[in-house]
């Protein structure tokens, strides 16, 4: 029985770190990453355990009676379509970010022209485009057309004006059939990797500001969800509302914080080896003020001599955790630069 990860970067590195603590090796389906043992997809056996960190790989296996992985069963119409998920949330009296189908004649600027899907036909799609004017829209539509994307893959979403620090995630492991097994923490995006639509270069654990965990439990129970997850909320100051942004049904980028500081809680539950003494009251661990920092992003800022960002990352309050380690970060950074150079060369052909 092998433990196999379907991606690379810090997500896979964190899983490898957690599995090593449990005495397991980690295999990767990408033979170009030298930090992992390689396995060919065709050599995967039925009793192998699979770990997914992106929706594209997960979609190839979900709803099939093969291998061990979670979530094993999903309503793909909801999980693979952000507009459909928003409509579902409204149907259970929840509060997603106001959304509607795209209409070319709608000039209620500004708004977010968001992609309904993360992946289509194995290709990663953009998150979306901020539309402030007709000129913005024209440019976005040109890019969509040039890439031969379907305009129906995009929808109109209210543009939120609060800072990225208002992005709070409920994340961990969830089991609708036995809520005692849950392990849910809240984190906020303290520093984003870019000014807009950023991933978290640094996140920190926070206390529940407005019953977000209760809302999370209610939603995931209704979905009959079982597995690792990240449910993103966004607090809009003007509306005084915590909107639901999206649900990531997989291991997310910063899940290593649960591996290091919560006794490997997420992987033990994923493998069904947690003990009775490792269960949390109401599925919520005791609060610890922790900070997760993307070491590769930190090195990138250092090489770019962006000392302001470096200082901001290093002076964050709370117990700091750097993922991945320095050696692996340099390796990931080299891969990133190689991909960037190849992309530019291909564009200039």
DSSP letters of 117-134? Answer: -SEETTEEPP-EEEE-SH
CB of 44 closer than 8 Å to CB of 67: yes
Q: Which residues of the chain have pLDDT under 70?
A: 194-198, 347-349
pLDDT of residue 82: 96
Beta-carbon count within 10 A of 110 CB: 12
Residue 160 DSSP class: P
- Pinpoint the alpha helices (H) of the chain: 9-21, 55-59, 76-79, 82-91, 134-146, 212-222, 256-261, 265-270, 295-303, 307-314, 326-348
As to burial, measured by CB atoms within 10 angstroms (0-12 exposed, 13-18 middle, 19+ buried), residue 97 is: buried
Closest CA to 239 of 301, 161, 294: 161
pLDDT of residue 316: 94
SS3 category, 136: helix
Give 111: exposed, middle or buried? Use CB within 10 Å, 0-12, 13-18, 19+: buried
- What's residue 122's pLDDT? 85
pLDDT at 195: 57
- Report the pLDDT value the prediction gives residue 184, as an integer from 0 to 100: 98
Q: Read off the pTM.
A: 0.93
3-state secondary structure of 168: strand
Report the pLDDT value the prediction gives residue 340, as an integer from 0 to 100. 79
Nearest 5°: phi and psi at 217?
Answer: -60, -40
CB 249 within 8 A of CB 74: yes
């Amino acid at each position: 029985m092998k433990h196999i990860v379907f991606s690379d970067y810090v997500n896979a590195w964190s899983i490898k770190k957690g599995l090593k603590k449990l005495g397991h090796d980690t295999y990767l389906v990408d033979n170009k990453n030298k930090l992992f043992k390689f396995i060919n997809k065709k050599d995967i056996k039925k009793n192998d355990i699979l770990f997914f960190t992106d929706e594209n790989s997960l979609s190839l296996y979900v709803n099939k009676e093969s291998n061990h992985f979670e979530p094993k069963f999903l309503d793909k119409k909801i999980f693979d379509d952000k507009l459909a998920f928003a409509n579902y949330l409204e149907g259970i009296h929840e509060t997603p970010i106001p959304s509607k189908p795209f209409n070319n004649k709608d000039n209620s600027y500004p708004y977010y022209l968001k992609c309904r899907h993360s992946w289509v036909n194995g290709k990663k799609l953009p998150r979306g485009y901020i539309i402030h004017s007709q000129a913005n829209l024209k440019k976005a539509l040109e890019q969509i057309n040039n890439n031969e994307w379907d305009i129906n893959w995009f929808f109109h979403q209210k543009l939120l004006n609060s800072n990225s620090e208002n992005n709070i995630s409920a994340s961990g492991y969830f089991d609708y059939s036995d809520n005692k097994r849950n392990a849910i923490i809240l984190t906020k995006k303290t520093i984003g990797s870019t000014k807009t639509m950023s991933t978290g270069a640094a996140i920190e654990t926070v206390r529940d500001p407005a019953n977000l965990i209760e809302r999370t439990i209610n939603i995931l129970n209704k979905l009959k969800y079982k597995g690792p997850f990240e449910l993103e909320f966004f607090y809009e100051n003007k509306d005084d509302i915590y909107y639901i942004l999206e649900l990531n049904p997989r291991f997310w980028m910063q899940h290593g914080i649960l591996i290091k500081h919560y006794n490997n809680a997420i992987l033990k539950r994923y493998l069904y080896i947690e003990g009775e003494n490792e269960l949390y009251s109401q599925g919520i661990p005791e609060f610890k003020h922790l900070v997760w920092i993307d070491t590769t992003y930190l090195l990138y800022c250092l090489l770019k001599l962006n000392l302001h960002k470096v200082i901001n990352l290093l002076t964050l309050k709370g117990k700091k955790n750097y993922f991945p380690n320095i050696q692996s970060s340099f390796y990931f950074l080299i891969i990133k630069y190689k991909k960037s150079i190849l992309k530019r060369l291909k564009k200039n052909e």
